[in-house]
Amino acid sequence: MTHPLAGLKIAVTRPRDQAALLVRRIEQEGGVPLLFPLLDITAVQNTRVLHEQVSRLEQFDLAIFISPNAVRYGMGEIRSAGALPKNLKIATIGQGSAKALHELGVANVMVPVERFDSEGLLALPELQKVAGWKVIIFRGGGGRELLGDTLKSRGATVEYAACYHRSKSQQDIATLLDAAPDILTITSSEALDHLWKILDDTQRNRACNIPLFVPHERIAKLAQQLGWQQVQLTGAGDDGLLSALMAWARQKTVDRG
């Protein structure tokens, strides 16, 4: 049996708790994962505001979970307090978040079918007429305001529920570069920005010559602006990333042959 990723060293920069499945699948395909989390994810320390928001969940018409982390920490808080109100509509941005919700027993989830971002969610027919709705958005501290601002412009009232905290990991980038990765994977603009800031000029030149795999055009554009020579746009989630990695590896084999 051939392994498409045989011998390829692939840097996995996701937060540690989210990387395990991807690491395992890379190994199954013969690759060598190099785990180097660029961001750390932790629960919010002061949960007073989150407790209060969850206690009023029945007053909302729609709850949006921005990411798998929002599902993990937001639903953890909700389940500790009781359960999701039966009439509360649920939406999320990506298939990974939708899967996480389904695994927690949430059956009906609004999710984009093509573009997995705020723009994709906002394009859904169900979210065009939201005047008078009360919307709560579970997310990390900070982040893009496009989703909330657009829903407000359509007449909704929006609250943000910060249920986790993102922080920049403190690691020595030299340890990753010394491992000589064949491929870098980056799954957020924030992670790419952090990577760029911890590289010195010499390291930036080295890094920009390593093929970079990203799941969104926004990240790809930032990488190209920073000077990356080879940027590969992948599908969403582990499946999209693995498919792109294997297609790239097979093409390299054909080119060498």
pLDDT digits (tens, 9 = 90+) for 77-130: 999 998 899 999 999 998 889 999 999 999 999 999 888 888 999 999 999 999
Domain that residue 237 falls in? 9-38+169-256
Within-domain flag for 188:
yes
- What is the per-residue pLDDT for 199? 96
- What is the per-residue pLDDT for 236? 82
Q: Which two tokens stand for residue 216?
A: 């969104």
Domains in the chain, number: 2
pLDDT digits (tens, 9 = 90+) for 38-78: 999 999 988 999 999 999 999 999 999 999 999 999 999 99
| Residues contacting residue 41 through CB under 8 Å, at least 6 positions apart | 15, 17, 18, 69, 140, 164, 165, 166
β-sheet with 157-168: strand ranges across: 39-43, 157-168, 134-140, 62-65, 89-92
Q: What is the pTM of this model?
A: 0.84
Q: Is the pLDDT of residue 1 over 70?
A: no
Say yes or no: 108 and 191 in one domain.
Answer: no
- What is the per-residue pLDDT for 182? 97
Say yes or no: 56 and 80 in one domain.
Answer: yes
| Residues contacting residue 1 through CB under 8 Å, at least 6 positions apart | none
Within-domain flag for 1:
no
Say yes or no: 214 and 154 in one domain.
Answer: no
- Model confidence at 149, pLDDT cuts 50, 70, 90, reads very high
